[in-house]
Amino acid sequence: MQLTTIAKPAIFAAASILVTACELPVTNNGQATGQAQQSAMQTTQAITNEIALAESPDYYDSKIFATGFSAIAIQPSKNLNQRRLMAIRAAKIDAYRVLAEQIYGARLDARTTVAEGMLTSDVLSSAVRGTIMAAETVSIEPKGNDTYTVILSISRSHLERLIKVYQQGRG
């Protein structure tokens, strides 16, 4: 059964009223207090407004995109199809790494050695650490004969909600 655009917010609003009503403070005779009822209605109205806004054709939720790459030939298998699947998996992990770099940043370590006025060694390494949740796979495509690319995206609004929850937990 497919719900119409109008039915979805109405059902959600009704459900949130029922859930909110279960948590209302009550007086001695079992009636909800006026202030609690007003607060519940405001919460329900805010949720309904947010849903209606998200379903409007003008709503735009920007996303962060990341592309990962991997070669088929370097995968450790004799079976070509298995190497292709391994390359897709490696490209997806690479895309997750790129998303983590965009969200959390990357730690860079560099070491340069100069002896007798000449550069003898120049080493640069990077590391990233983070958790990525709710990333969507946008595409998985072969590029040329030996490479796969995977594009992932994550909604900025979802990312902002996760950051708020994280900050509230630390506060």
- For position 59, what pLDDT does the model report? 66
Phi and psi angles of residue 110, each rounded to the nearest 5 degrees, phi first: -135, 145
Q: Is the separation of the CB atoms in 115 and 93 below 8 Å?
A: no
Whether residue 122 sits in one domain with residue 81? yes
- For position 167, what pLDDT does the model report? 77
- Structurally, the chain folds into a number of domains equal to 2
Whether residue 146 sits in one domain with residue 114? yes
Q: Is the pTM of this model over 0.75?
A: no
- For position 29, what pLDDT does the model report? 56
Whether residue 148 sits in one domain with residue 93? yes
Show pLDDT as tens, one digit a residue, over the chain (171 residues): 444 444 454 454 444 444 444 444 445 555 556 777 777 787 788 777 767 766 667 766 789 999 999 999 999 999 999 999 999 999 999 999 999 999 888 999 999 999 989 999 999 999 998 888 889 999 999 999 999 999 999 988 888 877 777 777 765
Q: What share of the chain is helix, strand, coil (3-state, %, to 5)?
A: 45, 25, 25
Whether residue 134 sits in one domain with residue 82? yes
Whether residue 92 sits in one domain with residue 34? no
- For position 163, what pLDDT does the model report? 75
> Residue 35's domain spans which residues?
7-55
Whether residue 160 sits in one domain with residue 106? yes
Q: Is the separation of the CB atoms in 88 and 140 below 8 Å?
A: yes
